[in-house]
Chains A and B, each alone.
Chain A
């Protein structure tokens, strides 16, 4: 064996942060790995079992490493309309919306969810690896536009994603709270502390994301565990999101790619004049050289990030995320390919460490959740 170093359990590295649920993960025998500066559980019992639990029952993920940013003030809407790609004016109080954060060239700095908590009060949930850079970027634009405060509130929340066909009824029964519908946010009291419940997720299944007081997170985790919710790590989180073709920033989205080539034109409203709108409008009008598409391997082989995509023996793209799909039991991935190859059904090959594996471009999602 070789190259095991990226999968080995490690001792805590200096500077790695731990979530409020670290002890719970350690007690459950989780394999903990460094992830975006945090020591996070990648799996407990096994990725396939955890994956299946979310597809058929209910699983929970500690995603406390994700960042939260509060945006408040009379200028909040104008500010968000400027920095986010989607039409923020459409978000009602209690609503949620997915957006890109773009640079002036239309490159994707981050992808994130926005929740409207009050008239001029919003919450943004960032990817942990980008949280610091997002804050700096948002801070700069807020000072330029004025009448808005941007606050880092990441330390105020632990975040638990409970996902799966039985997630909602289990959370309702266990915590005794009403849940908002999909794509809505509600305030509640959990563990007698203020909390936010979001009808969102990253698995394709129904469920909620709970933003709770870090102090009560261990007790809530224990209650859900007792109720039969299966603890799931980042490994299953990745296979689940890839089956339903949700983007992972840093892999599938980068500051060098615009939302149009990433297939995120649907969350860009260039008419709002957001930062990067001109570049995005040009990409939409003129088309892009490459397009992000899902694909399925036909036969053996598991694609991985960085594998070349071949068409007619020539290099025609690159895999940005690849894995073994536990639901489909076949290698799947997403890749930027030459736009003329992006049509679903197109046959390509993936160069998996020197072996050419036949693959076919597919449509989204690769796996249809049964609900």
Chain B
């Protein structure tokens, strides 16, 4: 049902609140980490932000909910949302099944790409999880 083993791809940058960013030029894709989806349990609802709205690094931009709990999702970087993952409305479980692929949350045009230097590499993020 979900990725059984903890997975943290090397090509991503990580925020210590368990969010990831895949930076491709001026645009980055955001999502939540394996640890985040595992802690939350089966996601049953994703409340996406609107395309065109702005997100600010370290601030909440969306909510994901499991049966048991709701969690705010924190933006790892600042920018303008250019695309939201509409498929999650009908299939929020993709966040559990494929947190770094089909379970992506938003795509953001970065306003300050330099912020990425404050994010963690995979090894440092894994160390943080202990």
Interface-side segment among A110-118, A141-149, A298-306, A343-351: A298-306
Q: Does B67 contact A235, Cβ atoms closer than 8 Å?
A: yes
State whether the Cβ of A7 lies closer than 8 Å to any Cβ in chain B: yes
Instruction: Please tell me the size bucket of the interface on A.
Output: 20 to 34
Q: Does B67 contact A2, Cβ atoms closer than 8 Å?
A: no
Q: Does B45 contact A301, Cβ atoms closer than 8 Å?
A: yes
| Interface secondary structure of A, over-half rule | loop
Chain B residues with CB under 8 Å of A324's CB are 44-45, 65-67
CA distance A353 to B45 in the complex (A): 14
State whether the Cβ of B108 lies closer than 8 Å to any Cβ in chain A: no
State whether the Cβ of B27 lies closer than 8 Å to any Cβ in chain A: no
CA distance A326 to B32 in the complex (A): 23
List the B residue with the shortest CB-CB distance to A235.
Answer: B68
State whether the Cβ of A99 lies closer than 8 Å to any Cβ in chain B: no
Chain A residues with CB under 8 Å of B60's CB are 2
State whether the Cβ of A239 lies closer than 8 Å to any Cβ in chain B: yes
Max count, chain B CB within 10 A of own CB: residue among A1, A9, A42, A45: A1
What is the minimal beta-carbon distance from A358 to any residue of chain B, in angstroms? 15
Chain B residues with CB under 8 Å of A49's CB are 1
Chain B residues with CB under 8 Å of A45's CB are 1
- Please judge, given known A-B contacts A42-B68, A235-B67, whether A47 and B39 are in contact too, CB under 8 Å: no
What is the minimal beta-carbon distance from A285 to any residue of chain B, in angstroms? 40
Pick from A7, A46, A235, A238: contact of B39, CB below 8 A: A7
Q: Does A1 contact B19, Cβ atoms closer than 8 Å?
A: yes
Pick from B1, B17, B47, B65: contact of A1, CB below 8 A: B17
Q: Does A2 contact B72, Cβ atoms closer than 8 Å?
A: yes
State whether the Cβ of A89 lies closer than 8 Å to any Cβ in chain B: no
Chain B residues with CB under 8 Å of A363's CB are none
Chain B residues with CB under 8 Å of A31's CB are 41
List the B residue with the shortest CB-CB distance to A2.
Answer: B72
CA distance A183 to B89 in the complex (A): 43
Chain A residues with CB under 8 Å of B36's CB are 1, 4
Interface residues of B (CB under 8 A from A): 1, 17-19, 32-33, 36, 39-42, 44-45, 47, 60, 63, 65-74
Apart from A45-B1, A302-B44, what are 16 other A-B pairs with CB-CB below 8 Å?
A1-B18, A1-B32, A2-B74, A3-B69, A4-B36, A4-B69, A7-B40, A8-B39, A43-B41, A46-B1, A46-B41, A47-B68, A235-B67, A324-B67, A353-B70, A355-B47
Q: Considering the complex of A and B, which 4 residue pairs feature the smallest CB-CB distances, nearest first?
A: A1-B18, A1-B36, A47-B67, A324-B44
